[in-house]
Amino acid sequence: HMKKLYLLGEVARLLDTAGVQVRPHQIAYALANQLVPEPALRIGNKRVFTDEDIDRLREYFRSPKAVVK
């Protein structure tokens, strides 16, 4: 079946409902600075996230060493 794909704003909302308070710019910062691996997929130069990417971000932002700017 088709994998569900998400854009940055949706990812921030999903993390928020999972109890991880994070804004889209904080996710973009973590990715741009290689604190979390970039999603493999881009469509029209926009990052496209899979459930696996979201799991990685959730783990990162839940950890005490997360750099949140």
β-partners of residue 6 are 49
| 24-49 tens-digit pLDDT | 999 999 999 999 999 999 999 999 99
| One-character DSSP codes across 9-43 | HHHHHHHHHTT----HHHHHHHHHTTSSPPPSEEE
Mean pLDDT along residues 13-26: 90
Q: Is residue 3 predicted with pLDDT exceeding 90?
A: no
pTM, to two decimals: 0.87
Pairing, β 46-48 against β 41-43 = antiparallel
